[in-house]
Amino acid sequence: MWKKIYEWLDERFGLNDMYKNMLDRPEPRGTWWNTLGSASLFLFVMQGLTGIFLTVYYTPSPDHAYDSVQYIMNGVAFGWLIRGIHHWGASLMVLVVFIHMLRVFVTASFKYPRELTWLIGIGLFISTLGMGFTGYLLPWHQMAYWATTVGTQIAGSVPFLGEFILKVLRGGPDLSALTLQRFFAAHIWIFPGILAALIGAHLYLIIKHGESSYPGKDE
Amino acid sequence: MSDSVSRRDFIKAATVAVGGVISLVLGIPAVGYLIDPALRASGKGGWMPIGKLEDIPIGMPSPFSFTSVQVNGWERTSTTHSGFVLRKSEDPKDMLILNSRCTHLGCTVNWKADADAYLCPCHDAKFSKDGKVLDGPPPRPLDTYTDFRVSEDGILEILFKAG
């Protein structure tokens, strides 16, 4: 029975072709270093899921942000676990994405025909840092507040445009409810959207070109 | 290959088993996290002190008020409740405790000694000394606090039920 259902779906979706092209493609003999891209993807999905769960209780307003985070940590069942995973996963993701990038650089995997994969990867790395920067403010405690004060000041030190950039980031001259709200929007909509789109392109290119391989002894 | 498991099948089974354990370990906290507020006991109420028994006069309604606190998540909402104690005799059991919330639309009724009645400022409702409707739109008599006690140091307490 299951076989019939599967065949019916396969005829319409092309599940077998999808499996062959996406997962059953030939792989060069790799090392553990080649798994860091998959690890990054896993972390992205995990951060996405725990992030969605956090928004069930988190409130991005200066009046409630801190209290709602305290409530997640101390009041909600397993809230400490969900936020713990999101918190540590964030640092881990920046680390893993960065090491993945280093590996691609060291093995020169960015060369023809994979230049675009590399460029999109740079976008992915910057967006990951953007996620870290915007997420850091959301607990709205002293460390978050002052880290964002300093971080936006650094962006504000750009010649000529600095003040404008600072105001765009903060939603005004000072850190306020507007800052918290726009950081929240960037953190849950804008950056995840960019990341998802870039990840799609990144994966497509990897499937299209295959993974780069180390040269053999006789090459 | 009937009595030995192939490497491929072993890996498959191990993947399913480990995956199952992981989804269970993550799934239970995830569901618990989402339904947590529904599993919490709502406001319990409790015994509220409303005054020294010896300070409450006999034979005429004496006003009191107390505050209850409702906790929702990280928010605490205080509500003030008020009412009247009518001691009918020296006996500490012989008293009537009325809620001063009008049973019509919830305004607070006041005791008017010259009218010998509770009057509601909103729609001219009139209740007798023991809470019965004398005039106006209220559908039923004033609510009463039926559970009360006097503590060892002479404080009158009433049982407040939340909700």
The pLDDT, as a whole number, for residue B2 is 60
Asked if A211 and A28 touch (Cβ cutoff 8 Å), the reply is yes
Residues in chain B predicted with pLDDT less than 50, given as ranges, are 1
CATH of domain B46-160: 2.102.10.10
B31 contacts chain A (CB < 8 A): no
Q: What is the pLDDT of residues A13-24, one digit of tens each?
A: 999 998 888 888
Write the residue in A64, A67, A77 that is nearest to B36 by C-beta. Answer: A77
For chain B, the structural domain boundaries read: 1-40, 46-160
pLDDT tens-place values along chain A, 219 residues long: 899 999 999 999 999 998 888 888 877 877 899 999 999 999 999 999 999 999 999 999 999 999 999 999 999 999 999 999 999 999 999 999 999 999 999 999 999 999 999 999 999 999 999 999 999 999 999 999 999 999 999 999 999 999 999 999 999 999 999 999 999 999 999 999 999 999 999 999 999 998 888 777 776
Sketch out chain A's domains with CATH numbers.
Answer: 35-138+188-209 (1.20.810.10)
Structure ipTM over 0.90, yes or no = no
Asked if B118 and B126 touch (Cβ cutoff 8 Å), the reply is yes
DSSP state of A35: G
Rg for chain B (alpha carbons), in Å?
29
B32 contacts chain A (CB < 8 A): yes
Nearest CA in chain A to B40: A76
Task: Provide the number of CB pairs (under 8 Å) joining chain A to chain B.
Answer: 36
Q: Which residues contact A53 (CB under 8 A, 6 or more apart)?
A: A82, B30, B33, B34
What is the distance between the alpha carbons of residues B94 and B130, in angstroms, rounded to a whole number? 13
What is the distance between the alpha carbons of residues A182 and A168, in angstroms, rounded to a whole number? 10
Q: How far is B35 from chain A (nearest CA, A)?
A: 9
The pLDDT, as a whole number, for residue A123 is 98
Asked if A146 and A115 touch (Cβ cutoff 8 Å), the reply is no
Which of A78, A83, A55, A68 has its CA nearest to residue B27? Answer: A78
Asked if A73 and A81 touch (Cβ cutoff 8 Å), the reply is no
What is the distance between the alpha carbons of residues A82 and A53, in angstroms, rounded to a whole number? 7
The pLDDT, as a whole number, for residue B163 is 57
The pLDDT, as a whole number, for residue B90 is 84
Q: Which residues contact A16 (CB under 8 A, 6 or more apart)?
A: A10
Partner-chain contact A76 B30, CB within 8 Å? no
Q: Which residues of A touch B15 (CB under 8 A)?
A: none
Q: What tokens does B100 get?
A: 């001063």
What is the distance between the alpha carbons of residues B63 and B75, in angstroms, rounded to a whole number? 29
Count of other CB atoms within 10 angstroms of residue A51: 21
Phi first, then psi, for residue B92 (nearest 5°) are -65, -10
